Structure 1
Amino acid sequence: MHRTNKRKDVTHPHFVAVRLTDADKALLDQGASTLGISRSEYLRKLLLEKEITNRIEVVADMDELRNLVNEYGKIGSNLNQIARYFNTGGEISAEMKDEIRQCISDLFSLRKEVLRMAGVLHGHNQTH
């Protein structure tokens, strides 16, 4: 490989080794050759000058998510009806207490389901 004149004021005292496939090495050599610089300098340029973006893809079952959103909507509607009842002077009854308990139970069930789905997305298949 053709060596270019290095600046005398810059030293690189740390050595880092990396294993490459033949195809990777060919790409490295081609890139360095195109710029007329050494492999080391080419790698330094890639490391220090090129911005690397991290893309995170979220893959989810849209039907399952839609069902969860619909369930949250129904629970929210029930809670609004209960709040309206109490705000208009409604009295606390056993039926209202049962309805509130059911809404809270549904919320906890949905929370558990969302956490289960999040665990699957992150590779954790444990159920609680």
Structure 2
Amino acid sequence: MSFDVPTDLRYTESHEWIEATGETRRVGITDFAQDELGDIVFVELPAVGTELEAGEEYGVVESIKAVSDVYVPVSGTVAAVNEELADAPESINEDPYGDGWLIELEGVDEAALDGLLGPDAYEEQTE
């Protein structure tokens, strides 16, 4: 099965994505991750202003099959959370790279993005 892997994002081995450009960086879970989880029914996200360290658990995504922790790809401060997910967690299943984003980070070190997987490397991992 082939999963959507946008070329303008960076990825983690634990199936999170982060935008590679912009003042704030959107973060979410990949198409592969949402497919593995199944129908998502609940999301728990941090408060705006929370400072996160790369690799730190920052939230929970709960599906009808499992509860999964989500990890921040790079260090930064939470600038925004996707409030829409409280009422529509299924947005993650329907549009993981669009309406299903989880948080936005500010103060991200550009060099930290270089340590993440590019689209080709991530695709190889999910094959």
Give your verdict on TM over 0.5. Answer: no
- TM-score normalized by the length of structure 2: 0.18
Larger RCO: 1 or 2 (CA < 8 Å, sep 6+): 2
TM-score w.r.t. length of structure 1: 0.18
The structure with the largest strand share of the pair is: 2
